[in-house]
Amino acid sequence: MPDSTSLIADTIIRTVELGLTITGAAIDERHTWITCRPVEQDASCPACGDEGRLRDHRIRELVDLPVVGHPTRLRIRLPRFTCTNTACATKIFQQQLVCAKPKAKLTDRCTRWILQRLAIDRMSVAAISKSLDIGWDLVNQVALEQAWELIYADPTHLAGVRVLGVDEHKWKHRRGDGTPGFVTVIADLTPNVDGTGPARLLDMVPGRSAEVLRRWLAAREKSFRDRVKVVAMDGFAGYHTATTEQLPKARKVMDPFHVVHLAADKLTMTRQRIQQDTCGHRGRSGDPLYGVRRILLTRMGLLTDKQKAKLDAVFADERHTAVDVTHWTYQDIIAAYEHPDRRVGKRWMYKIMCRIRKDLPAGVQELGQLGRTMWKRRAEILAYFDTGASNGPVEAINGRLEHLRGIALGFRNLNHYILRSLIHSGGLQAKINAL
């Protein structure tokens, strides 16, 4: 029976959950050393199952969770046995631990702790390695290996995905090393659309093209491709082409942000053109159109009375009629998306596209370009009102990945970046806690 001191130590450090009991402890300048042994001796041969004969003991050292802020090492006295079955190929074997895999340097709970710190607390690898007093490379290797198991080796990773979000992401700003600077981000928007939780990162693929997305979709099981009903994306034609080929039954949704952004670009181009026509130069301080450049891009409901009066004064000049017309179209598009009843918003958006796609007066050529573009992609624009899916959550994931790059002070290895991104934004908390 263990003495009371050992029971207290076992309780504090929770060694019982490791299948161990403490027999002693010591400290040095850097570590807390815990001497322990298995709670129960298991002499069963792992090859044949026969009971072996005790031969000797060996010491195995493992990294465990820090104790009161100090790195901890377990020094475990493990028995070795000789197999009594003469026909067995295994002659000598060592009792295996329930708390660590063979040849592992860390306990399973320490591995789980590393992933929790990365995924939940957003700690850097350097900070974790300092807390455990182990090398940066070891922490990184353990995290990446476990991430691979949780994601790519898990057959349920893609289960329940009905709504996809696809976008590009620039992961490095350095040229010349042969790796693509962009990756294609693929996210599961199903929880966001259903209102059951946030979107999660599914995968990242090097490059940004129709072929990149086509290969990724083609590599997935047919049951997955049949289950996907909606794909949200920006206006990039490559993603549209790949989705049409690989997911012919899925509805494609053009993200509202990009539609509004496209309209804003046309409004800015109209303002710049009229600025040149009326003043003969680019916008300067004191020019009427230059003075309202930011007000033009602000939603009407957010404008102050003073700003509205400033707009009215600018639009009172007949030379600015093209800007006035384009501006109100821009505001109408925003209002259609913001309407609380998406059915009404859909009808409103359709009327806007019909109004600006042809037979426009002279002088609003940018608005005509917008109308033709929107009419060409009308099915994808209107699909938003039926599905409620947008790429906003994917853009949010991209923002979190930028934060990750800041924590790590950049990445050089793309594969490491992909796996770290999946730990960071892949919604793996439940899987990690279950390890």
Q: What is the mean pLDDT of residues 248-268?
A: 95
Give the pLDDT confidence score for residue 359 in this predicted structure. 82
Asked if residue 208 belongs to a domain, the reply is no
Asked if residue 151 belongs to a domain, the reply is no
- Is residue 10 over pLDDT 80? no
Domain encompassing residue 78: 1-105
- Is residue 187 over pLDDT 50? yes
Nearest by Cα to 243 from 255, 259, 229: 229
How would residue 167 be classed by pLDDT, with cut points 50, 70 and 90?
very high
β-pairing verdict for 32-38 and 20-27? antiparallel
How would residue 13 be classed by pLDDT, with cut points 50, 70 and 90?
confident
Give the pLDDT confidence score for residue 210 in this predicted structure. 94
Asked if residue 165 belongs to a domain, the reply is no
Asked if residue 327 belongs to a domain, the reply is yes
Q: What percent of the chain has pLDDT over 70?
A: 97
Asked if residue 368 belongs to a domain, the reply is yes
* Measured distance CA(379)–CA(392) in Å, rounded: 19
Contact 204, 184 (CB under 8 A): yes
- Is residue 2 over pLDDT 60? no
Number of Cβ within a 10 Å radius of residue 58: 12
Give the pLDDT confidence score for residue 9 in this predicted structure. 75
How would residue 180 be classed by pLDDT, with cut points 50, 70 and 90?
confident
- Is residue 6 over pLDDT 70? no
Contact 246, 214 (CB under 8 A): yes
- pLDDT tens digits, one per residue of 199-209: 999 999 999 99
Residue 368 identity (one-letter amino acid): G
- pLDDT tens digits, one per residue of 299-357: 999 999 999 999 999 999 999 999 999 999 999 999 999 999 999 999 999 999 999 99
More confident residue, 273 or 7: 273
Q: What is the mean pLDDT of residues 117-128?
A: 91
- Is residue 1 over pLDDT 50? no
- The CB-side HSE value for 171 (13 A sphere, CA atoms) comes to 29
Give 278-286 contacts, CB < 8 A, sequence gap 24+. 278/319, 278/320
How would residue 178 be classed by pLDDT, with cut points 50, 70 and 90?
low
- Is residue 162 over pLDDT 70? yes
pTM of the predicted protein model: 0.82
Contact 405, 130 (CB under 8 A): no
State both tokens at 398: 């991209």
* Measured distance CA(179)–CA(128) in Å, rounded: 28
State how many domains the chain has: 2
Give the pLDDT confidence score for residue 15 in this predicted structure. 87
Give the pLDDT confidence score for residue 429 in this predicted structure. 86
Asked if residue 29 belongs to a domain, the reply is yes
Q: Which of 45, 74, 105 is the last residue of a domain?
A: 105
- Is residue 106 over pLDDT 50? yes
* Measured distance CA(238)–CA(242) in Å, rounded: 6
Asked if residue 56 belongs to a domain, the reply is yes
Give the pLDDT confidence score for residue 11 in this predicted structure. 78
End-to-end CA distance of the chain: 31
- pLDDT tens digits, one per residue of 356-382: 998 888 899 999 999 999 999 999 999
Give the pLDDT confidence score for residue 5 in this predicted structure. 57
Asked if residue 285 belongs to a domain, the reply is yes
- Is residue 224 over pLDDT 80? yes
Average pLDDT over the chain, rounded to whole?
Answer: 91
Q: What is the mean pLDDT of residues 87-108?
A: 92
Give the pLDDT confidence score for residue 69 in this predicted structure. 85
How would residue 4 be classed by pLDDT, with cut points 50, 70 and 90?
low
